[in-house]
Structure 1
Amino acid sequence: MLKNKIGISSKYSEVVILSVILVILMGMFSIMLPGRFLHPNNLQSMAFQLPELGILALAMMITMLTGGINLSIISSANLSGIVMALILTRVITPELTSTQVNWTILLAVLVGMTVSLGIGLVNGFIIAYLGVSPILATLGTMTFFEGISVVITRGYVISGFPEPILAIGNGTVFGIPVPMLIFIGAAIFVAILLNKTRLGLLTYMIGSNIKATMFSGINVNKIIMKVYTVSGILSGLAALIMVSRFNSAKAGYGSSYLLITVLVSVLGGVNPNGGFGKVSGVVMGLILLQVISSGLNLLGLSAHLTIALWGGILLAVEGIRLLRNKHGLGK
């Protein structure tokens, strides 16, 4: 009887809640912006804007599932992008053939991804084996690698990359932006990793109860190392999209993304204390925020109002969750 009065049942997952809000918002923007909001050009524009934030949100999400956090995802992505940019601008010369250019691009991407992987390993080692709290460890590495990026670039922008790599950030396949395809692939990879592998199961176990997991004979330190390594790799992938999309690399790019990735993760149903959260919820949260941003932009409203509305949506969703949990309606 109580469930009927409240109108919420346990089957209403995070995805369903966000889907309802998304449908309402899309309906409102469609009415307010007839022929503009749902125009293919606007939808494609949103598909270009979402991927780098989306991949960074995935990098944040998987660390939060263990009860941790990774504040270094932006500095990791920027340093990775800067390394790629240096190789692309200093090794590639007009004398190189197209084949040599392509191999150099591949080298740049691999070296950049290796840098971000290495940062992930450093984070994991400091947290797992030195016992430093995730927020302090990644705050330290964030500051350290951001400083290195500034020293390397001297605060300047590195730009002027070959056309093949620019196609990664600005090209389309059957009208679908390449960055969106990369994001979809990354989301599927993380979903499979969390739902179908031992690493994923143990990640949830650590977030739910790390002591019980340790007493079960699980090498918790090893799992944490792997989680932060995956987070680092995802940051490198986001760097590739950022570099290729903007045709430049700089130490301070994407600084505003950090808190938004936390916002998206929590909005998508990730428990800040760990142990609960799904990729599907994070993806829905990303789409929801992008719809709000695009709609308000088309209406000519302030970007500050967009941020305020994002916060309001988060509070509203959290209110629904608290109401549901208070009456024992499950997750």
Structure 2
Amino acid sequence: MLKTDTGRGRVSKHSEILSLGAILVILVLLFSLALPGKFLRPSNLQSMAFQLPELGVLAFAMMITMLTGGINLSIISSANLSGIIMAMILTGDLASGPGGAGLGWTIFLAVLAGLSISLLVGLVNGMIIAYIGVSPILATLGTMTFLEGISLVITRGYVISGLPRELLVIGNGTFLGVPVPMFILVAVAVGVAIILNKTRLGLSTYMIGSNIKATGFSGINTNKVTILVYMISGLLAGIASLIMIARFNSAKAGYGSSYLLVTVLVSVLGGINPNGGFGKVSGVFLGLILLQVISSGLNLLGISQFLTLALWGALLLGVEALRLTRRRVR
């Protein structure tokens, strides 16, 4: 088997992380100086920690498909449908009885149903891409549109609210001062890192992104790997939906629509090669924190959120230009 991680490759990977880390430190220092006593205030840090997880989990759902050279445009619509199914079960007749163990089983059933829906969507996406041969962008665009339509038919555009108080802890609770969703995000990041770095599936994912034909000739079932990758992506979308409905105490067809392009932005900013085959969980995690720091700092400065989006785009272009310059120098 050919070695895919050369010394130069390791240096390049570390330099990507160091660059993002340096930018993050500089931004934190600048905002701390511009907003003394405000930016690093515990309440602001906690607020950022509450906002990170749902976008972060969705970013990892996008990242893992991009490593194969694909993309998953259906993560938001899949998350919304999953959340709607969970909310319908939690606000239906099953949840109207007495609390206690009965309510616990209802919550378990709702979460299981929601995650199963997301897994099924991932399975369908993977099969369309792997066996029918539809390009990932078209396959997931079609799935996205279909799921959005189904969600609107089910809810008629209305919000489903009034979820059990016990579920809301997942989105709004804290443990030792740290938001519960943050623990979920860290667990997801560690899980994805283990899959990508310590398993055969992870190695196969990188290999497919580098050269799918050569990977097939090496004896790896590329269709199976593709399906598993999109199923994992779907599962992560389901986990993100659980955080969202628990945080907002409601579910709706249009929630998180602005997150889709941001997940691509976070992934590319974090070092994921849009053509596949290269990228690390740590880079995406740093990219996520970087965008949140910019958003929070500019918000405290009273700067429009529209300008924040423009600065995110400028940052992405700047980082990509720096990467291209480094590659040419080498």
Which of 130, 140, 145 aligns to 2:142? It is 140
Which of 160, 178, 181 aligns to 1:176? It is 178
Aligned partners of 2:206 and 2:276 also within 8 Å: yes
Amino acid at match of 1:300: G
Q: What is the CA deviation profile of residues 236-266 of structure 1, one whole-angstrom value per residue up to 9, with x for unaligned ones?
A: 0000000000000000000000000000000
Which of 312, 316, 325 aligns to 2:327? It is 325
* Partner SS, residue 129 of structure 1: helix
Partner residue of 2:157?
155
Aligned partners of 1:121 and 1:229 also within 8 Å: yes
Q: Distance in 1 between matches of 2:99 and 2:64?
A: 41
Aligned partners of 2:89 and 2:95 also within 8 Å: no
Following TM superposition, by how much is the alpha carbon of 1:323 offset from its aligned partner in structure 2, in angstroms?
A: 1.1
Which of 18, 40, 43 aligns to 1:41? It is 43
Following TM superposition, by how much is the alpha carbon of 1:95 offset from its aligned partner in structure 2, in angstroms?
A: 3.2
Number of residue pairs the alignment of both structures matches = 320
Following TM superposition, by how much is the alpha carbon of 1:320 offset from its aligned partner in structure 2, in angstroms?
A: 1.2
Q: Distance in 2 between matches of 1:120 and 1:200?
A: 17
Following TM superposition, by how much is the alpha carbon of 1:91 offset from its aligned partner in structure 2, in angstroms?
A: 3.0
Which of 209, 212, 215 aligns to 2:211? It is 209
Cα 1:60/1:293, change in 2 over 3 Å: same
Following TM superposition, by how much is the alpha carbon of 1:13 offset from its aligned partner in structure 2, in angstroms?
A: 2.0
Cα 1:220/1:12, change in 2 over 3 Å: closer
Q: Distance in 1 between matches of 2:86 and 2:33?
A: 44
Aligned partners of 2:53 and 2:182 also within 8 Å: yes
Following TM superposition, by how much is the alpha carbon of 1:327 offset from its aligned partner in structure 2, in angstroms?
A: 1.0
Q: What is the CA deviation profile of residues 181-208 of structure 1, one whole-angstrom value per residue up to 9, with x for unaligned ones?
A: 0000000000000000000000000000
2:80 aligned with 1:78, yes or no? yes
Q: Distance in 1 between matches of 2:13 and 2:231?
A: 34
Q: What is the CA deviation profile of residues 149-199 of structure 1, one whole-angstrom value per residue up to 9, with x for unaligned ones?
A: 000000000000111100110000101100000000000000000000000
* Partner SS, residue 303 of structure 2: coil
Partner residue of 1:103?
105
Q: What is the CA deviation profile of residues 81-122 of structure 1, one whole-angstrom value per residue up to 9, with x for unaligned ones?
A: 000000000034453232111110011000000000000000
Q: Distance in 1 between matches of 2:14 and 2:106?
A: 49
Amino acid at match of 1:181: F
Q: Distance in 2 between matches of 1:273 and 1:314?
A: 16
Output aligned runs, 1:1-331, within 5 Å. 10=12, 12-328=14-330
Following TM superposition, by how much is the alpha carbon of 1:10 offset from its aligned partner in structure 2, in angstroms?
A: 4.5
* Partner SS, residue 208 of structure 2: helix
Cα 1:94/1:84, change in 2 over 3 Å: closer
When normalised by structure 1's length, the TM-score is 0.95
- Residue segments in structure 2 that go unaligned for 5+ positions in a row: 1-10
Q: Distance in 1 between matches of 2:13 and 2:218?
A: 31
Aligned partners of 1:67 and 1:207 also within 8 Å: yes
Following TM superposition, by how much is the alpha carbon of 1:134 offset from its aligned partner in structure 2, in angstroms?
A: 0.2
Q: Distance in 2 between matches of 1:203 and 1:13?
A: 22
Amino acid at match of 2:59: A
Amino acid at match of 1:158: I
Q: Distance in 1 between matches of 2:140 and 2:13?
A: 36
Partner residue of 2:8?
none
- Residue segments in structure 1 that go unaligned for 5+ positions in a row: 1-8
Amino acid at match of 1:238: A
Q: Distance in 2 between matches of 1:60 and 1:160?
A: 30
* Partner SS, residue 274 of structure 1: coil
When normalised by structure 2's length, the TM-score is 0.95
Amino acid at match of 2:147: F
